[in-house]
Amino acid sequence: MDFSYTDVQQMLQDSVQKFVQKSYDFDTRNTILNSEKGYSAENWQLFADLGWLAVPFSEEDGGLGGSAVDLMVIMEEFGKANLIEPYTAGAVLSGSLVAELATGDIKTMLVEGIIGGELLLASAFAEPGSRFNPGSVATSAAVDGDDVILNGIKVAVENGPNANKLLVSARESGDVRDPLGISVFVVDASTPGISMRSYQTVDGKMASEVTLADVKVPASNRLGEAGAALPAIEVATNRAIVAVSAEAVGALEVLLQKTVEYSKTRKQFGTPIGTFQALQHRMADMFIQCQLARSIVIMAAMTLDGDDSAEEKAKAVAAAKSRIGKAIKDVGQEAIQIHGGIAMTEELDVGHLFKRVTALDLAFGDGDYHTQRFAQL
Amino acid sequence: MNADFTAEELAFQEEVREFLRSEFPADLKAKVDASVRLDKEDMVRWQKILFEKGWAAPTWPVEHGGTSWSHTQRHIFATEMGLYGAPEPIPFGMKMVAPVIMAYGTEEQKQRFLPDILESNAWWCQGYSEPNAGSDLASLKTAAVRDGDEYVVNGSKTWNTLGQYADWIFCLVRTDNTVKKQEGISFLLIDMKTPGITLKPIVLLDGFPEVNEVFFDDVRVPAENLIGEENKGWTYAKVLLTHERTNIAGVPRGKRRLKSLKNIAAETDDGFGGKMIDNASFKQRLAEAEIELKALEYSELRTLAALSVGNAPGPESSILKIVGTELAQRMDEMFVELAGYNCLPFVPEQFEPGFTGEPIGPGNSASAALTYFNNRKLSIFGGSNEIQRNIISKAVLGL
């Protein structure tokens, strides 16, 4: 048994750490947040140059191996920096979906585009009535000669405003929750019939509500077999869940660390508030939550990288997201409470980390959703 | 033992309901229901309607324009207001500074300040906390030095709520550095238009500058604005803090929000063909919240009954503050859970007066996360919940 990183993973961690420490402080993040695009295109190109955008892909697809543990290593560091660039949406989720489903030239084109940094993708799965279930798809795909016509509404499409192409889940047959009949199409963001309402999210990312009205795409833009995309969507989503969970682990760790530091310097009643036992115990509990969160994310990442059945993998991921949800609430809320009013302000990074982990709790289903999913699997 | 209202009290309850239905302006009701923030003009307009009715200040004595209501009537009034969604008066004038002026002010000060508070002609704000004096309020440093007929004030205050609207601020200032910290504090009323006062807005996590830092730079205040005796301000402030904690349980608002949770849950898809109201886990937490609210309500009624027979509010208000705020925060989490992805858009302007665009997401769902963030303040302000637990352990348990 050995939980240490390989030399390559260690190097990856060092390189991401170096980047965020040197080039991603709180002020820089605010500048990026308030920029026109809401992310830094230079950073994205840098991620490509450093090979980070190749990490989600296997070597045979032209990537650097594609292990979930590798993704965990990167995402934890991104979480510490409260990074805005859409790594999960653009590289992990969309990249894994392409790797799972696409074949031939279209696959080569998409994978090379993602790895090179010139292709920004967004995955459009969620719908007004689907809540967190990616298998609930009402958006329709009707074959029309050599084309397919898409109609429907997608919500919470992260990276939608900046994406060149969208990966849209749509139904070719069956009723709204039939596991069969769902396909994924690559759609140029500029295709007529696509309209977007774009917004910044509470944690500073860019997202859109996307309406598809008679959007015509060539049938050859379908990734994989008609109507058979749901298992691949689930595989890609599971990897994205490990990514956001690891991101949360990094963010929670920083929240804990900043809270402890603050309690040592903030004086009330003539003494640092960290000397009060009532607060010491609560910070000890925050530490326990962080440790359990880390443990369960490692478990999920290792399970995804292992030989277990698809069901066992799904169960491990549900367990992780469920447990992370609890840690997010406990650690996030305590970090604010122990800081007091100062953490309620936009001027301190603690509040921004709190907003980020709150959004991560919702991403791909909140803790409650995954507890129930775990119980059902 | 009984918790029933008398026939007279029931008649009064009906009178309040009828008044709210006919007099609470429809446009304000619409704003409240849509989670849109009420601006100064809205709040003053409503307060003046209450004034016309003679109901502006239920807690004041009749001689100053109060209502002569019993504690139970006041409770009924506050409950019906909360259930209907009609806002309570902004507390800083009505509930915070006015009782201090009544108890410790001169006749001249009463004549000068109380009528404008009653009629909502003057908006008050609070100058208590400082960057280094939060839970440990008595360590405050803003200094007032006597110079002839004036005090010269220097220093800064923080967490000043809605000071951008204010005409007056009541401040705790240090007038003696040589004695125990509680013994060198005075209570001073300051006109916000006085030269040397500047406000720096503090934007909170929901994007709204609800609070300010207030800087005092050689601000000259007439000595006649001192309340009571110099260096006795801490005693007066403690009275005020007790008033700040009454009605903090928020039972009526809790009931209204619980109903709202049920309504939203009945309309929210669970993603599997059902609605969230039938989701076993959500249902359980909804039930737990409702049960907690019952326990809180009866704790409040017991406190009320004790007040009615003349007992002073004691550490019970700490229980109400802790349980009320933590329950409100649990409900905030449930609103977020129901909203799901729909609470991700950060569009605070959608909930500001005058927004005419099309909202993102169904109903008020995009306000859920903003409220969740903002309401983390509930367990921090008004004496943090840690301070409340200290009060219980010291005052009740004798630890």
**Same domain membership, residue B281 and residue B220:** no
Query: In terms of domains, do B53 and B155 share one?
Result: no
Joined tokens for residue B324: 């009320």
What is the CATH number for A139? 2.40.110.10
Statement to judge: residues A246 and A361 lie in one domain: yes
Asked whether residue A1 is assigned to any structural domain, the reply reads no
Say if CB B316 and CB B306 are below 8 A apart: yes
Question: Cα–Cα distance between A221 and A290 in angstroms, integer?
Answer: 43
Q: Is the pLDDT reported for residue B351 higher than 90?
A: no
Domain of B160, CATH number, reads 2.40.110.10
Judged by CB atoms closer than 8 Å, whether chains meet at A340 and B135 is answered as yes
Residues in chain A closer than 8 A to B280 (CB atoms): 372
Rounded Cα–Cα distance for residues B251 and B256 (Å): 9
Q: Which residues in chain B touch residue A132, judged by CB atoms under 8 angstroms apart? A: 271, 340
Token couple for A38: 């809401």
Q: Residue B346: its chain A contacts at CB < 8 A?
A: 199-202, 204
Identify the three-state secondary structure at position B302.
helix
Has residue A334 been placed in a domain?
yes
Look at the alpha carbons of B109, B114, B117, B121 in this order and tell me if their dihedral is positive or negative. negative
pLDDT over threshold 80, residue B307: no
How many contacts does A have with B, using Cβ atoms within 8 A?
A: 128
On the 0-12 / 13-18 / 19+ scale of CB atoms within 10 A, B357 is exposed
Chain A's closest residue to B382, CA to CA, is A341
pLDDT surpassing 80 at residue B244 = no
Selected residues 346-375 of chain B with any CB under 8 Å from a CB in chain A: 346-347, 360-362, 369-370, 372-374
Report the C-alpha gap between A249 and A287 in whole angstroms: 11
List the domain range (segments joined by +) for residue A82: 7-120
Q: Are A257 and A363 in the same domain?
A: yes
Where does a domain end: B88, B108, B139? B88
Per-residue pLDDT, B312: 66
Q: Which residues of B are catalytic?
A: 244
**Does residue B82 sit in the same domain as residue B185?**
no
Asked if A346 lies within 8 A of B204 by C-beta distance, the reply is: yes
**A220 and A291 within one domain:** no
Point out the domain boundary residue: A93, A120, A147. A120
Does the beta carbon of B77 lie under 8 angstroms from any beta carbon of chain A?
Answer: no
> What pLDDT does residue B115 have?
97
Would you say residue B98 lies in a domain? no
Asked, for residue B29, whether it belongs to a domain, the answer is yes
A314 found inside a domain: yes
| Gap between the Cα atoms of B154 and A43, Å rounded | 46
Integer CA distances (angstroms), A117 to A88, A93, A95, A111, A163, in order: 14, 15, 12, 10, 12
pLDDT at residue A241, rounded to an integer: 98
> Half-sphere exposure (CA, 13 Å, Cβ side) for B103?
17
C-alpha distances (whole Å) from B238 to each of A277, A337, B313, B318, B391 are: 26, 23, 13, 14, 13
Residue B169, strand partner residues: B125, B190
**B208 and B129 part of one domain:** yes
Residue B218 placed within a domain: yes
Q: Are residues B254 and B368 in the same domain?
A: yes
Is the residue at A2 inside a domain?
no
Q: Helix (H, G, I), strand (E, B), or coil: what is residue A102?
A: coil
What is the DSSP pairing of strand B143-147 with strand B150-161? antiparallel
CATH number of the domain enclosing B333: 1.20.140.10
Which chain A residues are within 8 Å of B385, Cβ to Cβ? 337
The helix/strand/coil state of A175 is coil
Contact residues, chain B, for A370 at CB < 8 Å: none
Low pLDDT (below 70) residues in chain A: none
CB atoms inside a 10 Å sphere around CB A214: 11
Chain A contact present for B158, CB below 8 A? yes
Calculate mean pLDDT across residues B220-234.
97
B110 assigned to some structural domain: no
Mean pLDDT of chain B: 93
Assign B247 a pLDDT band (cuts: 50, 70, 90).
low
pLDDT band at B357 (very low <50, low <70, confident <90, very high): confident
Quick one: A64 and A169 in the same domain? no
pLDDT one-digit tens code per residue, B96-131: 899 999 999 999 999 999 999 999 999 999 999 999
Mean pLDDT calculated for residue range B244-264: 87
Classify residue B106: in a domain, yes or no.
Answer: no
In a domain, B94, yes or no: no
- Domain encompassing residue B28: 7-88
B180 touches chain A (CB under 8 A): no
**Dihedrals φ, ψ of A183, to 5°?**
-120, 165
Which CATH number do you get for residue A51? 1.10.540.10
Q: State whether B267 and B390 are in the same domain.
A: yes
- Report the pLDDT value the prediction gives residue B242, as an integer from 0 to 100: 65
| Min Cα separation A341/chain B (Å) | 7
| Structural tokens at position B159 | 């967490």
Q: Which two tokens stand for residue A40?
A: 């830094």
How would you class B92 by CB atoms within 10 Å of its CB: exposed for 0-12, middle for 13-18, buried for 19 or more?
A: buried
What torsion do the CA atoms of A302, A308, A312, A314 make, to the nearest 10 degrees? 60
Structure tokens at A192: 């007529």
Regarding whether A197 and A162 lie in a shared domain, the answer is yes
Are B162 and B36 contained in the same domain?
Answer: no
Q: Looking at B232, B266, B290, which one is the last position of a domain?
A: B232
For an interface test with A, which of B341, B365, B379 has the most A Cβ atoms less than 10 Å from its Cβ?
A: B341
- Let me know whether A214 and A296 are in one domain: no
Question: What radius of gyration do chain B's Cα atoms show?
Answer: 22
Task: Tell whether A323 and A266 lie within a shared domain.
Answer: yes
* pLDDT tier at B137, thresholds 50, 70, 90: very high
Give the count of domains, chain B: 3
Q: Is there a single domain that holds both residue A165 and residue A102? A: no
CA-wise closest residue to A232 among A241, A223, A242 = A223
Q: Is residue B226 part of a domain?
A: yes
Confidence grade of residue B304 (pLDDT, cut at 50, 70, 90):
confident
ipTM of this predicted complex?
0.97
Lowest pLDDT segment from A364-373, B63-72, B356-365: B356-365
Residues B140 and B186 in one domain: yes
**What kind and span of H or E run contains B14?**
helix B7-23
Asked which of A52, A86, A120 is the last residue of a domain, the reply is A120
The C-alpha of B109 sits at a distance from chain A's nearest C-alpha, in angstroms, of: 33
Instruction: Give the closest-approach CA distance of B360 to chain A in angstroms.
Output: 8
Residue A275 shares a structural domain with residue A348: yes
Flag whether B219 is in a domain: yes
> Are residue B367 and residue B307 in the same domain, yes or no?
yes
| Identity of the residue in B211, B346, B372 whose CB atom sits nearest the CB atom of A200 | B346
A355 and A252 in a single domain? The answer is yes
Give me the pLDDT at residue A344, please: 96
Q: List the single residue in B with minimal CA-CA distance to A352.
A: B205
CA A339 to each of CA A276, A278, B379: distance values in angstroms, whole numbers, following the listed order: 14, 14, 12
Q: Which residues of A222-242 are buried (b: 16+ CB within 10 A; e: fewer)?
A: bbbeebbbbebbbbbbbbbbb
Confidence of residue B330 (pLDDT cuts 50, 70, 90): very high
Q: Taking CB atoms and an 8 Å cutoff, what residues of chain B touch A267?
A: 132
Total domain count, chain A: 3
Last residue of a domain, one of B36, B67, B88: B88
If asked whether residues A146 and A159 sit together in one domain, one would say yes
Determine the distance in angstroms separating the CA of A344 from the nearest CA of chain B, rounded to an integer: 6
pLDDT band of B245, cuts 50, 70, 90: low
Looking at the structure, tell me whether residues B157 and B41 fall in a common domain.
no
Write out B41-108 in H/E/C secondary structure: HHHHHHHHHHHHHCCCCCCCCHHHCCCCCCHHHHHHHHHHHHHHCCCCCCHHHHHHHHHHHHHHCCHH
Smallest Cα–Cα separation from A157: which of A198, A197, A208, A194?
A208
Q: How far is B102 from chain A (nearest CA, A)?
A: 31
Q: Which of A200, A228, A256 is the last residue of a domain?
A: A228
- My answer on whether B262 and B375 are in the same domain is yes
Give me the residue from B205, B207, B346 closest to A199, CB to CB: B346
Question: Is it the case that residue B246 has pLDDT exceeding 60?
Answer: no
Contacts of A147 (CB under 8 A, 6+ apart): A216, A217, A218, A219
Mean of pLDDT values over B16-42: 94
Chain B partners of A368 at a C-beta cutoff of 8 Å?
281-282, 337
**What pLDDT does residue B243 have?**
61
Cα nearest neighbour of A197 on chain B: B360
Burial class (CB in 10 A: 0-12, 13-18, 19+), A109: middle
